[in-house]
Amino acid sequence: MNRDREKTTRLVIHCSATPPKMDIGTEEIHQWHIRRGIKSPRGSLTGYHGVIRRDGTLEYGREMMEIGAHCRGINQSSVGVCLVGGIESGSSPPAPEDNFTLQQMHTLVDVIRFCRIVWPDIKIIGHTEYNNRKACPCFDVQEFLTSWRTA
């Protein structure tokens, strides 16, 4: 069975829903996804294609053309990238918070620029724009696109 996307129409921005002091990467998210039953036929780490750590490091997960497991309903046509963070420290229940670092946002701009080169017509969205029951990625992606130079 072919597990590569036939087309790529969206880049979906996610967050890990973790507090700012919790610096995790693909390995930890991979373990969470295994516990949730998310698997990759190629053994790739996580359902995301990339994870952006707190220091701005981009860690690769799924192969770029492999179908992801990050946004039910559009995995067949999308790339998913996850920013580590997005939850307020010490709140109960956990509250969404835009607590991403400047380094993470610079890396996100680089990812967006790369995707626009590879797929010139790609639409950039936050997970919440596809599923409004989710706060993820805990910031307004469309506002981000207009306020940062992402072209």
Options 30, 71, 127, 138, the catalytic residue: 127
Alpha helices, H only, 39-132: 102-118, 127-130
Asked if 136 is an active-site residue, the reply is yes
Asked if 49 is an active-site residue, the reply is no
d(CA 78, CA 98): 23
Asked if 48 is an active-site residue, the reply is yes
Options 14, 30, 33, 49, the catalytic residue: 14
Instruction: Pick the closest to residue 129 from 12, 7, 2 (CA basis).
Output: 12
Options 30, 48, 70, 82, the catalytic residue: 48
Options 15, 71, 82, 136, the catalytic residue: 136
CB atoms within 10 A of CB 92: 6
Instruction: Supply the residues annotated as catalytic.
Output: 14, 48, 127, 134, 136
